[in-house]
Structure 1
Amino acid sequence: MDTLRSIESFVKAVQAGSIAAGARLQGITAAAASQNIQRLEKSLGTRLLIRTTRNLAMTESGELYYAEVEHLIAGLARAQSAVTEFHGQPQGRLRVGASVAFGRHILMPLIPQFARNFPKLSIEVVLSDRSLDHITEDIDVSIRFKEQLEPGLVARKIAIAPVVYCASPGYLQRKGVPETPEDLTTHDCLMFRMPVDGRLFSWTFVRNGIRYEPEIKPGIICNDIDSLHRLVVEGAGITRLATFIANQDIQRGALIALFQPDPASMNAIQSDTVPLEFYACFRDKHAITNKVRAFVDYLVSEIPQAL
């Protein structure tokens, strides 16, 4: 029996929440993973998992065994990565997670050149605005904005993206131009609901060094930034977008930026928006392998500090 392979099937099943999901992380079939676990249980002379149609739970023996072997599998993966990378270019699989908008607009255009730089790497990109789990989804590095950071993750800031409040010329002609953030109370505000925790992404301003949030009544709420982008271009209201999403439409006149500093007006310079901060995140310091470090260094070199 390939004991290590069977242990890996057991560990991945527990981490992923099911034998089928754990098998996908291993790159094998669910039947093969189930057989591995059965052989492991037989060799140990005890049952490790309780399987039902909906749930997977560990027995008391399973919990004791998992506590002893969990770090073994992670350590072996790191050891294999360190040895292979020591003898040449980074190689193996690199699994990258990112928020959808950042992935579409910033990350994906950079991936082809990185793949050409490191042809021995197999790259997989997972785009999602929900909270990606580095362990259960086998993510090597995730790119998150500040509000997505979680306790325990190791994070390195890689970019800052200014944000802009904007609307279409047609909407502003119908509803008028808000002169201050407080004027937003009378406008149709298109707001982003964060899939991570269901909170509305706050519209925060800075005045005289003090952050504040004006009272806002959402007109339309959506959990996809690109959909909000489409809504604002179509004249549905005012929204908050990162400049890397909005700038092209602003430049061609399809959108108009609001609350912009005006040196000729003493009042206009009293308000400013808070930018988005993006971080490369790792499960722990041991997860920063050579291939991960090469990827993050590449991002830092290619992404402007202010997007």
Structure 2
Amino acid sequence: MEYRRRELLGASAAGIAAAVGGCLGLGDDQSEGSIAGEELALATTTSTEATGLLDELNAAFEERFGTRVAANAQGTGQAIESARNGNADVILVHARSREDEFMQEGYGVNRRDLMFNDFVIVGPSDDPAGASDAEGAVAAFDAIASAEAAFVSRGDESGTHTKELVIWEEAGIEPGGEWYQELGQGMGETLTHANEAGAYTLADRGTYLSRDDIDLEILVQGPIEGGPELLANPYGIMAVNPEIHSNVNYQLAIAYIGFVTSPDGQEVIEDFTANGEQLFYPEALSENPNFQQYVPEGWQPDSSDE
């Protein structure tokens, strides 16, 4: 479902300054440039919604600024496409290669690292393919394909699906056949289907841990529990460029980014749990900030300018 975009005036310099000042706790007055009463269009991933974290973050933001967040949770690919079409003010996603493409095309500005968890390979406890005995994610996928054991893919161009395709590529396998099923659904639906079918799947740890109604077990851990870095799952947030889409509420987008990357927003992320487990780990605050978060991976300055 796409947003019905409202016509908005471009943010004034005074408005942007007021929004950023509010994010930093520099004032809560309703002076010129106040964002109270406005609505933020947020395109995000299904994992933030399915775990319940999105409700916690948005409630804290709405209480602080007196605004409403209209969130549309989709796979990362769909969320980015919504923003590319001007149907979002800000996006919160987890596929760095897709984020980089969005930024390089000029659609995104002010990208920030927000949080991380990791991916895990889950499956039935009897593990017919022996995935748990394999050394790493690539070997586990190879074992599943070799055994033609049932595997359920999200198949929706989400961040999880993107990562899954990377693993298959590293394994030198093009999955297909009766054992491999693409759903075109979110993480929650994929876990439910895999559970019912006794199949393997790749899941983000947060969504998996938030479910207490499935029997699937983690067979290959991600880096949080000592597994391979290939299964790392970082989340980024960025505003949609108002120079591309004049209807974007850039002032409100910057306020939201400022809040969720502030100590208050990062505390919400750190304290959020489900079934007694921490689902996400804050990453916006660091004694040694990572410059690379602001630009596409691998970007280097033009040596001809030196």
TM-score, length basis structure 1: 0.59
Shift of 1:243: 0.3
- Paired residue for 2:11? 78
Shift, 1:124, TM fit: 1.3
SS at match of 2:234: strand
Q: Distance in 2 between matches of 1:122 and 1:258?
A: 40
Q: Give, in whole Å, the separation in 2 of the partners of 1:259 and 1:135.
A: 35
* 1:233 Cα deviation from its structure 2 partner: 2.2
Alpha carbons 1:259, 1:272 under 8 Å: kept: no
Choose from 120, 127, 143 the match for 1:164.
120
Q: Contact between 2:195 and 2:214, CA under 8 Å: does it hold in 1?
A: no
What is the letter of the counterpart of residue 274 of structure 1? Answer: L
Task: Say which SS state the counterpart of residue 93 (structure 2) adopts.
Answer: strand
Task: Encode CA deviations 1:14-70: one digit per residue, 9 max, x unaligned.
Answer: xxxxxxx99x5337xxxxxxxxxxxxxxxxxxxxxxxxxxxxxxxxxxxxxxxxxxx
1:166 Cα deviation after fit: 0.5
Aligned partner letter, 2:35 = P
User: Equivalent of 1:192, from 147, 154, 159?
Assistant: 154
List aligned pairs for 1:30-41, cutoff 5 A: none
User: In the aligned structure 2, how far is the partner of 1:284 from the partner of 1:143?
Assistant: 14
Q: Indicate whether 1:104 and 2:50 are aligned.
A: yes
Matching residue's letter, 2:237: A
Asked if structure 2 preserves the Cα contact closer than 8 Å seen for 1:164 and 1:241, the reply is yes
Compute the displacement of 1:298 (Å).
Answer: 2.9
Show structure 2 runs of 5+ residues with no match.
Answer: 20-30, 135-139, 271-279, 283-306
Query: How far apart, in 2, do the equivalents of 1:96 and 1:226 lie?
Result: 20
Counterpart residue identity of residue 283, structure 1: V
**TM-score (normalizing by structure 2):** 0.59
CA distance in 2, matches of 1:102, 1:188: 27
Q: For residues 270 and 164 of structure 1, what CA distance do their matches in structure 2 show? A: 9
SS in 1 for 2:10: helix
Shift of 1:216: 6.0
Contact 2:123 2:216 in 1 (8 A): yes
The RMSD of aligned alpha carbons is 3.8
Deviations 1:184-208 (A, max 9, x none): 22122211213479x8653556xxx
How many residue pairs get aligned? The number is 222
| Secondary structure of the structure 2 residue equivalent to 1:87 | coil
Could you report, residue by residue, the CA deviation over 1:238-268 in whole angstroms, capped at 9, with x for unpaired residues? Answer: 000000011245x88822111349xxxxxxx
- Measured after TM superposition, the shift of residue 230 of structure 1 is 0.5
- Write the distance in 2 (CA, Å) between the matches of 1:275 and 1:248: 18
Identity %: 10
The 5 A counterparts of 1:1-307 are: 24-26=4-6, 76-79=9-12, 81-82=15-16, 87=32, 89-91=34-36, 92-105=38-51, 106-119=53-66, 121-129=67-75, 130=78, 131-134=80-83, 136-146=85-95, 147-149=97-99, 150=102, 151-152=105-106, 153-154=108-109, 155-169=111-125, 172=126, 175-178=128-131, 179-180=133-134, 181=140, 182-185=142-145, 186=147, 187-195=149-157, 201-204=163-166, 212-213=170-171, 215=173, 217-218=175-176, 219-224=180-185, 225-249=187-211, 254-260=215-221, 273-284=230-241, 289-300=250-261, 301=266, 302-304=268-270, 306=281
**Separation (CA, whole Å) in 1 of partners of 2:90 and 2:69:** 12
Instruction: Say which SS state the counterpart of residue 234 (structure 1) adopts.
Output: helix
Structure 1 residues without counterparts, runs of 5 or longer: 1-20, 28-73, 206-210, 262-268
- Once the two structures are TM-superposed, the CA of residue 281 in structure 1 deviates from its matched residue by 1.9
Moved more, 76-85 or 216-225: 76-85
CA distance in structure 2 between the aligned counterparts of 1:144 and 1:125, rounded to whole angstroms: 13
Larger Rg, first or second structure (1 or 2): 1
Q: Evaluate the alpha carbon distance shift between residue 270 and residue 25 of structure 1 in structure 2; reply closer, same or farther with a 3 A threshold.
A: closer
Structure with the bigger RCO (C-alpha within 8 Å, sep 6+) is 2
Measured at CA, do residues 293 and 214 of structure 1 come closer, stay the same or move farther in structure 2, by a change above 3 Å?
Answer: same
Q: Could you list the per-position Cα deviations for residues 162-192 of structure 1 after superposition, in whole angstroms to 9, with x for gaps in the alignment?
A: 00000132xx26x253221231221222112
> Which amino acid counterpart does residue 279 of structure 1 have in structure 2?
G
Structure 1 pair 275–115 and aligned structure 2 pair: CA distance change class (3 A): same
